[in-house]
A = this chain, B = another copy of it.
Amino acid sequence: MGKLERNKKEKNTTLLQTAFELFTEKGFAKTTISDIVNRAGLAKGTFYLYFKDKYDLRDQLIIHKTGQLFVRAHHAIAGKEVNGFENKMLFVVDFIIEELKKDKALLTFISKNLSWGIFKHAFENTVTEESQQFYAYYLEQMKKDHIVCKEPDIVLFTIIELVGSTCYSCILYEEPVSMEEYLPYLHQVIHQILAAFTNPEN
């Protein structure tokens, strides 16, 4: 990668990062391209060399940020000894919840987009290649623990949607209860889902 190439990559990253800061500070609608380039120390025209428009930027950002979350979860579990498939799922869920509790701005931004969408876009976009690694890991761990599951996608989808939506409500609004209080119920529901749709072989 030449100096020019590196320079461009850097500007792109700066714009994404700056935009994320502003989106979480003032919200997407109230953030203007001017705000972004001003803080990034770039010219307005430069923005359009990297993104089609504000929506393009946002979409890239959601995918990027959600992907990173899965990557971190994946890294975290890679360094731990966790026994059994269900415990691995619960570990990942807990990890993500912790991350979102620590970073409410992130939760607000990815909002209800922490959903199956991240995998859905996998084919269109190389950015989510990291998310794919998580998906591969999920399938692999099932196999490793001799779990038989006819529809692994549906199980993962159900869990992700459930975690995503309840995080939003419990962490940001503590409604109907705080996430601390809700967590045991969430674990129990995940347990039930896995029990219903997967069978340990033999």
Name A's B-contacting residues (CB within 8 A): 111-112, 115-117, 119-120, 151, 153-154, 157-158, 161-162, 164-166, 168-169, 173, 175-177, 182, 185-186, 188-189, 192-193, 195-197
* Residue from A151, A165, A192 whose CB has the most chain B CB atoms within 10 Å: A165
Q: Provided the pairs A162-B165, A164-B165 are in contact, do residues A185 and B120 lie with their beta carbons within 8 angstroms?
A: no
How many copies, total?
A: 4
Contacts of A195 in B (CB 8 A): 192
Task: Check if A120 sits within 8 Å of B164, measured CB to CB.
Answer: no
Docked complex Cα distance between A111 and B115 (Å): 13
Task: Check if A158 sits within 8 Å of B169, measured CB to CB.
Answer: no
Q: Provided the pairs A117-B175, A154-B185, A185-B154 are in contact, do residues A165 and B197 lie with their beta carbons within 8 angstroms?
A: no
Docked complex Cα distance between A164 and B162 (Å): 10
Contacts of A182 in B (CB 8 A): 154
Contacts of A168 in B (CB 8 A): 115
Docked complex Cα distance between A192 and B117 (Å): 25
Task: Check if A153 sits within 8 Å of B176, measured CB to CB.
Answer: yes
Q: Provided the pairs A192-B192, A195-B192 are in contact, do residues A154 and B176 lie with their beta carbons within 8 angstroms?
A: yes
Task: Check if A154 sits within 8 Å of B169, measured CB to CB.
Answer: no
CB distance from A103 to the nearest CB of B (A): 20
Docked complex Cα distance between A189 and B162 (Å): 11
Task: Check if A192 sits within 8 Å of B196, measured CB to CB.
Answer: yes
Cβ-defined partner of A115 (8 Å) among B119, B158, B169: B169
Q: Provided the pairs A192-B192, A196-B189 are in contact, do residues A120 and B173 lie with their beta carbons within 8 angstroms?
A: yes
Docked complex Cα distance between A196 and B194 (Å): 13
CB distance from A172 to the nearest CB of B (A): 11
Closest residue on chain B to residue A152 by CB atoms: B176
Closest residue on chain B to residue A193 by CB atoms: B189
